[in-house]
């Protein structure tokens, strides 16, 4: 079941109804889920699901389901199973004759793509970008070779290193960095890799979504529409 990515009112009527009816809510972050429930006046039992002992916790929840208990599986924010450990339970349930019902809603991936302004007939999702310099360089080079934008999650600290690496590959490549989407301190920075890097925040924000234009991407400036600069992988040093 999808829950808000930030603003607590970004939740569907159906989701609110289900959260108030189920016997148990399995959450990646029970504290965040309890805050959401309190905001909407919902009293429910919440249990932890992840990030440790996932198989053991999935087995316990599966047993409860077999006993006839209705369980809502939620992430800490957004849609479960997207860069999230919920797949263990969802994969096991149908094998035991237990139906899985999707309750769609907010997604930080889609929210970031809608404000990035890049052509988006298709897109690629990388999940959480690694910290290793050599791996980041390869991820970026692969992304710039694709049509359609690439979306990735990263921390406020890591995004500075990622953009520095991208600046070395193609400083004029169009980028959007979204901090804390739908929250009061939401900030969205668009521009070339070089421009966005120069405007980065202090690195304290933790909920950062990075969107890179694909090779079919364009950017608008005072001169009109321009193709993104080409790049060469030979320009990046990975050690």
Residue 204 falls inside a structural domain? yes
Residue 118: how many other CB atoms lie within 10 Å: 22
Claim to verify: residue 121 and residue 59 sit in the same structural domain: no
Handedness of CA 20, 21, 26, 28 (dihedral sign): negative
Q: Which of the listed residues 39, 71, 95 is the one where a domain comes to its end?
A: 95
CB proximity list for 126: less than 8 A, separation 6 or greater: 139, 143, 150, 151, 152, 153
3-class SS of residue 225: strand
3-class SS of residue 156: helix
Q: Which of the listed residues 55, 72, 95 is the one where a domain comes to its end?
A: 95
Claim to verify: residue 121 and residue 185 sit in the same structural domain: yes
Closest CA to 115 of 159, 178, 172: 178
- How far from 119 is each of 75, 123, 127, 191, CA to CA, in Å? 29, 9, 20, 15
Q: How confident is the model at residue 52 (pLDDT cuts 50, 70, 90)?
A: confident
- Residues 73, 65: Cα–Cα separation, whole Å: 12
Residue 100 falls inside a structural domain? no
Average pLDDT over residues 132-158: 88
Residue 162 falls inside a structural domain? yes
Claim to verify: residue 44 and residue 122 sit in the same structural domain: no
Claim to verify: residue 199 and residue 138 sit in the same structural domain: yes
Cα of first residue to Cα of last residue in the chain, in angstroms, is 42
Residue 8 falls inside a structural domain? no
Q: Mean pLDDT, the chain, as a whole number?
A: 86
- 234 has pLDDT over 50: no
- Residues 235, 10: Cα–Cα separation, whole Å: 43
Residue 5 falls inside a structural domain? no
Claim to verify: residue 199 and residue 89 sit in the same structural domain: no
Claim to verify: residue 78 and residue 115 sit in the same structural domain: no
Task: Provide the residue range defining the domain that includes 198.
Answer: 108-235
Residue 101 falls inside a structural domain? no
Higher pLDDT, 190 or 224: 190
Residue 187 falls inside a structural domain? yes
Claim to verify: residue 129 and residue 187 sit in the same structural domain: yes
Residue 182 in contact with residue 4, Cβ under 8 Å? yes
How many residues does this entry show for the chain? 239
Query: Locate tokens 């991820």: which residue?
Result: 139
Q: Which of the listed residues 32, 62, 95 is the one where a domain comes to its end?
A: 95
Residue 54: its pLDDT value, please? 85
Residue 130: its pLDDT value, please? 78
Claim to verify: residue 90 and residue 112 sit in the same structural domain: no
CATH number at residue 40: 3.40.1010.10
CATH number at residue 193: 3.30.950.10
Claim to verify: residue 227 and residue 153 sit in the same structural domain: yes
Residue 202: its pLDDT value, please? 62
Claim to verify: residue 132 and residue 224 sit in the same structural domain: yes
Residue 163: its pLDDT value, please? 92
The pTM score is 0.84
Tokens representing residue 183 in the block: 């929250």
Residue 129 falls inside a structural domain? yes
Q: Among 126-130, 176-180, 186-190, 231-235, which is the least confidently predicted range?
A: 231-235
| Edge-to-edge strands, sheet with 71-74 | 46-48, 24-27, 71-74
Continuous segment of H or E residues that includes residue 114: helix 108-116
How many structural domains is the chain composed of? 2
Claim to verify: residue 18 and residue 82 sit in the same structural domain: yes
Claim to verify: residue 113 and residue 177 sit in the same structural domain: yes
- Residues 55, 71: Cα–Cα separation, whole Å: 17
């Amino acid at each position: 079941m999808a829950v808000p990515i930030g603003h607590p009112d970004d939740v569907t009527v159906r989701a609110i109804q289900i959260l108030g009816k189920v016997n148990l809510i399995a959450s990646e972050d029970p504290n965040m889920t309890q805050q959401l429930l309190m905001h909407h006046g919902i009293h429910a039992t919440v249990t932890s699901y992840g990030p440790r002992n996932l198989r053991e916790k999935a087995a316990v929840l599966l047993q409860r389901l077999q006993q006839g208990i209705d369980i809502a599986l939620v992430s800490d924010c957004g849609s479960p199973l997207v860069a999230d450990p919920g797949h263990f339970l969802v994969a096991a349930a149908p094998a035991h004759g237990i139906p899985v019902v999707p309750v769609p809603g907010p997604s930080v991936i889609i929210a970031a793509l809608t404000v990035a302004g890049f052509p988006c007939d298709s897109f690629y999702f990388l999940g959480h970008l690694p910290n290793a310099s050599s791996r980041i360089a390869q991820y970026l080079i692969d992304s710039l070779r694709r049509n359609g934008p690439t979306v990735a999650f990263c921390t406020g600290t890591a995004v500075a290193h990622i953009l520095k690496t991208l600046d070395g590959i193609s400083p004029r490549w169009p980028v959007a960095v979204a901090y804390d989407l739908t929250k009061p301190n939401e900030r969205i920075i668009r521009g070339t890799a070089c421009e966005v890097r120069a405007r980065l925040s202090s690195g304290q924000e933790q909920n950062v979504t990075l969107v890179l234009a694909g090779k079919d991407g364009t950017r608008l400036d005072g001169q009109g529409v321009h193709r993104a600069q080409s790049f060469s992988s030979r320009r990046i040093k990975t050690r």
